[in-house]
Amino acid sequence: MNRMAFSFDTTYKGLDPGLYSPVTPKRIADPEILLLNDGLCGDLGLDPADLTADVLAGQDRAEEPIAQAYAGHQFGGFGLLGDGRAVLLGEHVHDGSRYDIQLKGSGRTPYSRRGDGNATVSSMLREYLYSSAMQSLGINTSRSLAVLETNGTVTRRRREPGAILVRVMNSHIRYGTFQYVASQIPTELPRFTDYVIDRHYPQLHATDRPYLAFFDAVMESSIGMVVDWLRVGFVHGVMNTDNMSIDGETFDYGPCAFLNYYDEGAVFSSIDTDGRYAFGNQRPILRWNLERFAEALQPLCSQSALTYEELEAKLDEFADRFDARYNSMMRRKLGISSDAHEDLVDEFLGWLRDSNADYTNTFLELENPGTFDDPAFATAEFERLQEELAAVGLNEGLMQEVNPRYIPRNYLVERALDTYLESGDLSTFNELLTVLKDPYSSKDVDPRYQQPPPREFDARYTTYCNT
């Protein structure tokens, strides 16, 4: 038994006991490590030799795990929630930084409701791949330390082997955690907020108005996260307030997908029947979520110098701040180094909407004309825009920093997962993972890694939460 693999110091257990429940992960005989992230091991100061299957699956534990309580607006409706199939093994401390080590798919908890607490191997492999890709794309994200296959089966859309993901985050505190405190134990809110500031934004304690500065910092980190999603064509798919990290970490890769053909109305999630979380709706939904977060902070107004009018004033800044970051990002994608030419950016976005061209490849074609044999790039309108951009932008160095050559093409992800389910062979999965580890550099690889699927594939492609 090795109890020294992680260096745990779990401060969350010092908070109000109503915020969590002690949990024992389900018993698993002979879990098998399918994937272990050696790079993340290095970042966390972990020796892979110490990370046995029993340690990673929560069978060999250094301390008692917990499941966290939280609330949230799910597709607009408020409810009390919690970790229904996840447990926090502990807070690992390395080199002055603190990381949550969480198991996903480790069995039932007091918050499972009607769920079984389990996870399918395909959904955990998917999260491992997407979190790795997002990290390589330079986007603030949860990270995956390992995937383990269990000896049981799990039935969702189909019957599959069960699995556990070992997820790493700065913390799993979310907008919905504040909503839970505000609705259930409001007197705890000042103490809890101070704890979160200490953990994520300690510099704010030196400001005159730390609670107001905290809301401002959360809004800024969230704007940065969503602008980065839009930069690479990422559709999160389930932007509920309980899936919004307090420090701008992307997490919960259930029904997510990447755009192929540009469509601001693109929805892939099976449960998003009204398009609430469509690609182009991620900006207004972030604003809506921040409103709910501000409401959760309202009890502080009667217990500190904070006023709700100050929070509303910060919310009023959202549109200008988001648009400034978005326009700056789009100028970089187009290789425009100055702060001007907003009209040209808007005109180009209009062309994308009308043409429905492949989003990723469009910017690579602008950088190197003739790269792709796509009728959309042979039109007079595209050539005219290219000429206008060449006069003010198309700075290759700038473009190469923000425009990926490779993204997780949805059909390639499904192919890799299906191959494993059908044959138990991870080679296709690992090949895709390797290509995505360096997405900004061209490689001598199969051209399919840059090819969008047939349009009819995207029209019917559906992703699932698999909870």
The rounded distance, in Å, linking the Cα atoms of 209 and 265 is: 39
Both structure tokens of 430: 């690992």
Residue with tokens 């009209």: 343
For 302, residues 6+ apart whose C-beta sits below 8 A from its C-beta are none
Backbone angles phi, psi at 49, to 5 degrees: -65, -25
Classified as helix, coil or strand, 94 is: strand
CA 423 from centroid of its chain's CA atoms: 29
Amino acid 244 reads M
CB neighbourhood size of 14 (10 A) = 8
Contact by Cβ (8 Å): 170, 200 = yes
Both structure tokens of 124: 């955990």
Using alpha carbons, select from 127, 105, 99 the residue that is nearest to residue 41: 99
Residues forming beta bridges with residue 22, ordered by sequence position: 66
Residue with tokens 């401390």: 93
Both structure tokens of 43: 């970042």
Backbone angles phi, psi at 9, to 5 degrees: -150, 85
One-character DSSP codes across 318-340: HHHHHHHHHHHHHHHHTT--SS-
One-character DSSP codes across 198-242: HHH-GGGGGSS-HHHHHHHHHHHHHHHHHHHHHHHTEE-S---GG
Active site residues: 242
Burial label for 245, CB within 10 Å (0-12, 13-18, 19+), is buried
CA 397 from centroid of its chain's CA atoms: 27
